[in-house]
Structure 1
Amino acid sequence: MRTSSREQVQEEEGLLPDEEIAAQVRDLLYRNMISGQRGGFNYHYTKPSPGTYPYQYFWDTCFHAFILLAMDEADMAKKHMRSLFQMQRPDGFVGHMSYWKRLWPARITDIFQLRPKDALRVYKPHMSALVQPPLAAQAVLRIYQHAPDQDFLNEMLPRLKAYYNWLLRNRDFEGEGLLSIISPYESGLDWKASFDPVLKYDKGLAGLQLFWKVLQVDAHNFFHNYNLPAIYRSNKFIVKDAAFNTIYVQNLEALAQLCALAGDSESAGYYQAQAEKTGRSILKYMYDEADAAFYDLAGHNYRKLKVRTGTIFFPVVLRQVPQEVSRRVLQRHLQQRDGFHVPYPIPSLAVDEPAFNPDESLYIWRGPTWVMFNWFMHGYLLDAGYTREAEELLLSIKRLITKSGFREYYDPFTGEGHGAHDFTWSGLVLDIIRRQQKKDRSS
């Protein structure tokens, strides 16, 4: 589809013009933005949704940086990333939630996501004890590429190195380069159906029993005082998530680039080598040739969790994955749409999986379409020459936003919006638009 025909489709279908989408995204982010000072810290972040998600979340903040850069707001993106690392521990750890102004957890599950001593620290800012997909290096690199600032790079680089070193020391339990998550919430894809076998949940559609099983995982970690060696030995929930580890590789490579920009060639080589190691392990352990899919892994023995979630695509973006493998995965599941053939792609779970549920539910990521999936895949598809597929993903998002606004997730068949309102992740459409415009200009 050429640019002119894409614009023709937009006009014929009455989709919002790019300029109107950009204006709405800007309004959305600024309405959800919050800043202040508390406990000796200066914080500045964007709430993913005003009521549902009031805290500063790790990978949400990185998403917001990408969106802000698409709005040409580099200084605001820097404020967000500085705030994210304000409470970084001396060992490099950064939690997946930072509690700034509102200090009480919003849900019962949040309580068990704190270290026991932090559960009582509701009188001052604190962090959760969990992590989230480590997008921070890519966000900082994008900021630097957008508006080179050596002072900002020199400020953030030691923090980034400490953070990724913490992940390497504490979550690569077997030394194979693959990071493990210890809670479903660490994947960023809460209630992901591929975790059901680990949780010993075999009922397909989610229900209250699944809720309690997930709660028990976080309670188990809490009562182990988040002692990672003990949690690993217990093997209650040790999962190597395909998306998490793909993002880890991408960010190790981004960190290597940042080190090179700072003149630290030794560190650049080290992080690039770590990226290569993890990428090779993803191919070795996660790829299933018969299914042409990348699966999450469970436990100490790397058992493949053969559930076709939307993340079976993610590793195709990696340089360590041969082009032939990437081609097979995309042909099988994206082009032939094996289980992923819906009017509004990409669904978070294949439609023929027993757990598939496209409706609004507490148990998210089990069927509905999220803008994040399309955002993640769009860039790779453009670069790899899948022009038509990339444009289809962009048009799908524009249709969703035109029809239902900026929602947390959408019904993949009807496009109806579900979950949180005024949800900022859907603003990633602006980054996709800018990426598509750049490609159009160069072609």
Structure 2
Amino acid sequence: MLRSNRQSGISDWDGMRYDFVCPSPTHYPFQWFWDSAFHAIALLHVDPELSKQELRCLMQGAQPDGFIAHMLLWEREAHAHWVEREYSIRLGHPYYTATIQPPVVARAVERIFEATGDTAFVREMLPPMVRFFDWLARVRDPDNDGLVAVIQPDESGLDASPKYDKAMGIPYEPPADTLPTLRRSMKRLFDAYRDAAPEAQPLLDVFLFEDVMMNSIYADGLRALAKLSRAVGAPDADRFERESKRTQGALMSKCWDEEAGVFWDLSGKAEEPAKVLTFTSLFPLILPDLDARVAKRVVHEHLLNEREFWLPYPVPSVAANEVSFDPAWQTKTTWRGPTWVNVNWYLYWGLRAHGFDDIASELARRTVAMQARGGIREFYDPFTAEGYGATDFGWSCLSLDLIAAETAG
């Protein structure tokens, strides 16, 4: 399936050869930032050279200032306006977006290095990765607290998550109103940003979220950069380690709610906690250095809570006891209830990092069983395993990595 989703050719806007796995030929025919990182991890179990090629192609989109776009369209200029209309994603150029996605790429390069020992590949990938992480710190952390901000919902990759509803003016009911309201709200964001330089956009406070998942992946990526830099004798390893710890410290001091036992996103310059319980409230579990007491509370009070996240096919994108929980995709928008394989993949490795091996194994087992019932789909009903969204969806092949990890023991 990963091979059948490959697209290759010569870009007609810069003459570069592209060769990548698209998330879905019918629904998502472009190259997407975090999708490609997940594809690279899955491809390790198919062909490590294709895994490397996936990231090489992605890094061809790196700009001189360090920015790497959420989407690379390569040769599809004719579809540019369709992208804004269909996906509500701003274009900064006819061939790429003006937006970002979570920096999973450092974790992907780390996994490739662990599997292949290819130091030349690490040296090739480090410069564009370092520039991108430095761009995030320079442009997306205007208050310099160690937490980077997203300035529209798609930048976290979590599109219509209900944790953004208040900021976007989206109602919970009726479900049919969610999508049209989201599209109107996205147009408002586009209009506000239209004449603002990238460096000025976070200062507008139109939509500004210090997102827990985004910052957990950012901190984890800085950790991976430190490890990779040390492995090949590159500079700045100590700096990346300090920056990772600083972001982790900010997650604890600003986002952790001791009473609730979860992490909350921070909304706006005022950093108002967005108290909607989604899987991202558990996401710092992916950080190996997370305090053991905090990890235990997150797992036992919330992940394993059958009223919240431990459903027949966990982990739902929204807690089952939230009013906005939409497990059967009635709203026709994403990240409002169904289960996603990439979330389970990250949480699986987080559980293992904190010694919850039995829970990790059960999560892997239920994930594979879910796909056996629902197919290789974009997301799944957490009660029935019915698949929704795109078919033959690329990052759902991360289950290959779960199977390999469980087989290896």
Q: Percent same amino acid at aligned positions?
A: 35
Q: Out of 377, 390, 399, which is 1:407 matched to?
A: 377
Larger Rg: 1
**In 2: Cα distance, 1:435 partner to 1:290 partner:** 35
Residue 352 in structure 1 maps to residue 321 in structure 2 = yes
Deviates more, 1:135-144 or 1:198-207: 198-207
Q: Out of 23, 26, 31, which is 1:51 matched to?
A: 26
Structure 1's 110 and 356: CA in aligned 2 closer, same or farther, altered over 3 A? Answer: closer
Structure 1's 320 and 208: CA in aligned 2 closer, same or farther, altered over 3 A? Answer: same
C-alpha displacement of 1:383: 3.1
Q: Is the 8 A contact 1:280 1:320 kept in 2?
A: no
**In 1: Cα distance, 2:190 partner to 2:134 partner:** 24
C-alpha displacement of 1:303: 0.9
Q: Is the 8 A contact 1:283 1:320 kept in 2?
A: no
Q: Is the 8 A contact 2:292 2:354 kept in 1?
A: no
Deviates more, 1:200-209 or 1:93-102: 200-209
**In 1: Cα distance, 2:220 partner to 2:45 partner:** 20
Give the structure 2 partner of residue 210 of structure 1. 182
Aligned residue type for 1:345: P
Aligned residue type for 1:83: C
Give the structure 1 partner of residue 53 of structure 2. 79
Q: Out of 100, 114, 128, which is 2:91 matched to?
A: 114
**In 1: Cα distance, 2:369 partner to 2:288 partner:** 32
Deviates more, 1:152-161 or 1:47-56: 152-161
Give the structure 1 partner of residue 202 of structure 2. 232
Give the structure 2 partner of residue 34 of structure 1. 7
Give the structure 2 partner of residue 10 of structure 1. none
Give the structure 1 partner of residue 247 of structure 2. 278
**In 2: Cα distance, 1:33 partner to 1:177 partner:** 37
Q: Is the 8 A contact 1:109 1:218 kept in 2?
A: no
Give the structure 2 partner of residue 289 of structure 1. 258
Aligned residue type for 2:9: G
Give the structure 1 partner of residue 340 of structure 2. 370
SS at match of 1:168: helix
Give the structure 2 partner of residue 69 of structure 1. 44
Q: Is the 8 A contact 1:332 1:338 kept in 2?
A: no
Give the structure 2 partner of residue 426 of structure 1. 396
Q: Out of 360, 363, 366, which is 1:393 matched to?
A: 363
C-alpha displacement of 1:220: 2.3
User: CA offsets, 1:263-316, max 9 Å, x none?
Assistant: 13x400011110010000001111111111111110112111000011111112
- Stretches of structure 2 that go unaligned for 5 or more consecutive residues are none
**In 1: Cα distance, 2:248 partner to 2:339 partner:** 27
- Stretches of structure 1 that go unaligned for 5 or more consecutive residues are 1-27
Q: Is the 8 A contact 2:288 2:354 kept in 1?
A: no
**In 2: Cα distance, 1:197 partner to 1:383 partner:** 34
**In 2: Cα distance, 1:167 partner to 1:42 partner:** 27
Structure 1's 381 and 275: CA in aligned 2 closer, same or farther, altered over 3 A? Answer: same
SS at match of 1:419: strand
Residue 331 in structure 1 maps to residue 303 in structure 2 = no
**In 2: Cα distance, 1:49 partner to 1:393 partner:** 25
**In 2: Cα distance, 1:241 partner to 1:298 partner:** 8
Q: Is the 8 A contact 1:109 1:215 kept in 2?
A: no
Task: Show the 5 A alignment for 1:91-102.
Answer: 91-102=65-76
Q: Is the 8 A contact 1:189 1:365 kept in 2?
A: yes
User: CA offsets, 1:2-41, max 9 Å, x none?
Assistant: xxxxxxxxxxxxxxxxxxxxxxxxxx10110111112311
**In 1: Cα distance, 2:90 partner to 2:332 partner:** 18
**In 1: Cα distance, 2:88 partner to 2:318 partner:** 28
Residue 436 in structure 1 maps to residue 395 in structure 2 = no
SS at match of 1:36: strand
C-alpha displacement of 1:233: 2.9
Q: Is the 8 A contact 2:33 2:70 kept in 1?
A: yes
Q: Is the 8 A contact 1:134 1:248 kept in 2?
A: yes
Q: Is the 8 A contact 2:162 2:324 kept in 1?
A: yes
SS at match of 2:185: helix
Task: Compute the RMSD of aligned alpha carbons.
Answer: 1.6
**In 2: Cα distance, 1:302 partner to 1:34 partner:** 41
User: CA offsets, 1:331-359, max 9 Å, x none?
Assistant: 11122334224211110001121111112
Deviates more, 1:96-105 or 1:415-424: 96-105
C-alpha displacement of 1:47: 0.9
Paired residues in the alignment total 400
Aligned residue type for 1:228: E
